[in-house]
Chain A
Amino acid sequence: MPDPRDARETVTDMPGQAAPARDEAIRVEGLRKSFGRLEVLKGVSLTAREGDVVAVIGGSGSGKSTMLRCINFLEHPSAGRIVIGGETVAMKSDGSPADRRQIERIRQSLGMVFQQFNLWTHRTILENLIEVPVHVLGVPRAEAVARAEALLARVGLAEKAQSYPAFLSGGQQQRAAIARALCMAPRAMLFDEPTSALDPELVGEVLAVIRDLAAEGRTMVLVTHEMKFAREVASHVIYLHNGVIEEEGPPDALFGNPQSDRLKQFLKSVG
């Protein structure tokens, strides 16, 4: 598999040539999702190639979380197709994954970061990070610990390895949660409003970590209310409204020159 960073360098080194198409990391096709009689997603499609940062914006209740959760099947799609790294997730007729092993493997390749951090409270930060590598992926403990410590140092939490999550600030917990997702060496990251539960003064430290990941060419789908940040890091922005993609495009076009009235109104309301 080509390193996405190579692809980027190719573009800058040889501006005259067309960039080779990067591999698709995540593809969502015609995704629909209903809760009972409420249709929350009405046919949503998106593609994230290796190294893409796809930002998803939209009002509360527009279906952003549901869409993200359908990608790793925390919610079961009512219709549509999810393709991860070229592999279509096998679904039963009710949308649940047909092959438990397959969905577990695919989930291991998608690092999810939740609004509420969701660190395991009965384990230290270090234990949180090595839990899945050691107990699910079978990585030797010493190796997993070394990797976890390096990642903790990277998100600025080296001294917190032995602390329990409850004794960390929200910003620290979210940085630890990001490190936990990175420990699985995922192909792509899924962020669901990673800073929405944080006090304003703690937002910056978490965004800095995400910015750092974007800069190293990590593939991610990022649901966010931080418009400035989305404009800065995204390669593609999707505006979701009432379960449909109302408008999408490169960040400068979408934020600088919104076409639909709804998006214009939304951007005015948030900032």
Chain B
Amino acid sequence: MTALAGAAASTLDLLQLAPPGWGGNLLRGLANSVLIAAGAFGLGLGLGTLGAFGKLYGGPVLRDLLAVYTTVVRAVPELVLILILYYAVTDSVNQILLAFGYERIQISGLAAGIAVLGVVQGAYATEVLRGAIQSVPVGQIEAARAMGMPPGLLARRVTLPLMLANALPGLANLWLIATKDTALLAVVGFAELTQQTRQAAGATKAYFTFFMAAGLLYLLLSILSTWGFARLERRARRGLPEVRG
């Protein structure tokens, strides 16, 4: 009984926010993970939008280049991509800097993480958005054109909302993947949640406690995200009858 109480107390001590507890580190790690995931997701959306329009309406050269991009990124394991992109990008930036007589710089882990994961996300987002754009009913766009709606307004008020209804499930998936992929950045030493957890666990030998705590944080993030996306999707699908299997 006392042993159990003692174990519970020491677990709580370990997870205290202020040192010597490691809870603060874990939460900072979580914040970093969310920041990277959000940045990467945003960058991925931007790249994906360009990629989707390029694939649908671009010239043959652009389409070939985009095909190479999406194929390569989706074929190579993400961990390998991260290592390649991270080291290759940091290295080439420094090569260029040295060549021009500047000092070697330390590239911020945050910027590199966002860039690397964003490029990966962009490849998947290209395919999600391309499918969503293709599934917008042409007739509804034509109705807007026939009423003299200018292209910008048409994209904003007709095409985009109709597209979103089809894109949101795929985008929600991508966001969840982004949050989990941030864990891969632990291999390049970035202080995100997994890396912080490993450090805490290594220092205290309380592996079970810390990895359970990290697991719960990831779960919480995922549950909140799923709830948020479900709300967005319900709003985007307003007006469409529910399809039940």
The chain A residues found within 8 Å of chain B, CB to CB, are 72, 74, 100, 103-108, 110-112, 114, 116-124, 131-132, 135-136, 164-167, 177, 180-181, 184
Name A181's closest neighbour in chain B (CB-CB): B147
A118 partner residues in chain B, CB cutoff 8 A: 137, 139-140, 142-143
Interface status of B238 (Cβ within 8 A of chain A): yes
Fill in one digit per residue for B201-245: 1 if any A CB lies within 8 Å of its CB, else 0: 000000000000000000000000000000000001011110000
Interface status of B148 (Cβ within 8 A of chain A): yes
Top 4 closest pairs, chain A to chain B, by CB: A164-B239, A107-B148, A108-B148, A118-B143
Q: Do residues A100 and B143 form an inter-chain contact, with CB atoms below 8 A?
A: no
Interface status of B145 (Cβ within 8 A of chain A): yes
Q: Do residues B146 and A100 form an inter-chain contact, with CB atoms below 8 A?
A: no
Q: Do residues A119 and B143 form an inter-chain contact, with CB atoms below 8 A?
A: yes
Complex CA distance for A165 and B149, rounded to whole angstroms = 20
Q: Do residues B241 and A167 form an inter-chain contact, with CB atoms below 8 A?
A: yes
Complex CA distance for A167 and B238, rounded to whole angstroms = 11
Q: A107-B145, A114-B142 are in contact. Are A124 and B150 (CB under 8 A)?
A: no
Complex CA distance for A177 and B143, rounded to whole angstroms = 10
Interface status of B157 (Cβ within 8 A of chain A): yes
Interface status of B158 (Cβ within 8 A of chain A): yes
How far apart are B26's CB and chain A's nearest CB, in angstroms? Answer: 42
Complex CA distance for A244 and B16, rounded to whole angstroms = 85
Q: Do residues B239 and A136 form an inter-chain contact, with CB atoms below 8 A?
A: no
How far apart are B93's CB and chain A's nearest CB, in angstroms? Answer: 43
Of the listed residues B137, B146, B150, B162, the one surrounded by the most CB atoms of chain A closer than 10 A to its CB is B146
Complex CA distance for A112 and B145, rounded to whole angstroms = 10
How far apart are A228's CB and chain B's nearest CB, in angstroms? Answer: 28
B139 partner residues in chain A, CB cutoff 8 A: 114, 116-118
Q: Do residues A105 and B146 form an inter-chain contact, with CB atoms below 8 A?
A: no
Interface status of B165 (Cβ within 8 A of chain A): yes
A164 partner residues in chain B, CB cutoff 8 A: 238-240
Complex CA distance for A209 and B22, rounded to whole angstroms = 73
Cross-interface CB contact of A131 among B137, B150, B157, B239, cutoff 8 Å: B157
Q: Do residues B149 and A120 form an inter-chain contact, with CB atoms below 8 A?
A: no
Give chain B's interface residue range (CB within 8 Å of chain A): 20 to 34
Cross-interface CB contact of B240 among A100, A106, A119, A121, cutoff 8 Å: A121
Interface status of B170 (Cβ within 8 A of chain A): no
How far apart are A28's CB and chain B's nearest CB, in angstroms? Answer: 17
How far apart are A117's CB and chain B's nearest CB, in angstroms? Answer: 8
Q: A74-B145, A164-B239 are in contact. Are A120 and B150 (CB under 8 A)?
A: no
Q: Do residues B142 and A136 form an inter-chain contact, with CB atoms below 8 A?
A: no
Q: Do residues A135 and B146 form an inter-chain contact, with CB atoms below 8 A?
A: no
Q: Do residues A132 and B161 form an inter-chain contact, with CB atoms below 8 A?
A: no
B157 partner residues in chain A, CB cutoff 8 A: 131, 135
Cross-interface CB contact of A166 among B142, B148, B236, B241, cutoff 8 Å: B241
Complex CA distance for A136 and B147, rounded to whole angstroms = 9
Q: Do residues A136 and B162 form an inter-chain contact, with CB atoms below 8 A?
A: no
Cross-interface CB contact of A122 among B149, B150, B153, B165, cutoff 8 Å: B165
B145 partner residues in chain A, CB cutoff 8 A: 74, 107
B147 partner residues in chain A, CB cutoff 8 A: 107-108, 111-112, 132, 136, 180-181, 184
A106 partner residues in chain B, CB cutoff 8 A: 148
Complex CA distance for A223 and B81, rounded to whole angstroms = 58
How far apart are A168's CB and chain B's nearest CB, in angstroms? Answer: 11
Complex CA distance for A163 and B236, rounded to whole angstroms = 16
Complex CA distance for A123 and B158, rounded to whole angstroms = 10
Q: Do residues B146 and A72 form an inter-chain contact, with CB atoms below 8 A?
A: yes
How far apart are A227's CB and chain B's nearest CB, in angstroms? Answer: 26
B143 partner residues in chain A, CB cutoff 8 A: 112, 114, 118-120, 177
Complex CA distance for A106 and B146, rounded to whole angstroms = 9
Cross-interface CB contact of B149 among A123, A136, A181, cutoff 8 Å: A136
Name B151's closest neighbour in chain A (CB-CB): A100
How far apart are B182's CB and chain A's nearest CB, in angstroms? Answer: 33
Of the listed residues B147, B149, B157, B236, the one surrounded by the most CB atoms of chain A closer than 10 A to its CB is B147
How far apart are B136's CB and chain A's nearest CB, in angstroms? Answer: 10
B239 partner residues in chain A, CB cutoff 8 A: 121-124, 164-166
Supplied contacts A103-B148, A136-B148, A166-B239, 14 more A-B pairs, CB within 8 Å: A72-B146, A74-B146, A107-B147, A116-B139, A117-B139, A119-B140, A122-B240, A124-B239, A132-B144, A132-B148, A164-B238, A165-B239, A177-B143, A181-B147
How far apart are A73's CB and chain B's nearest CB, in angstroms? Answer: 9
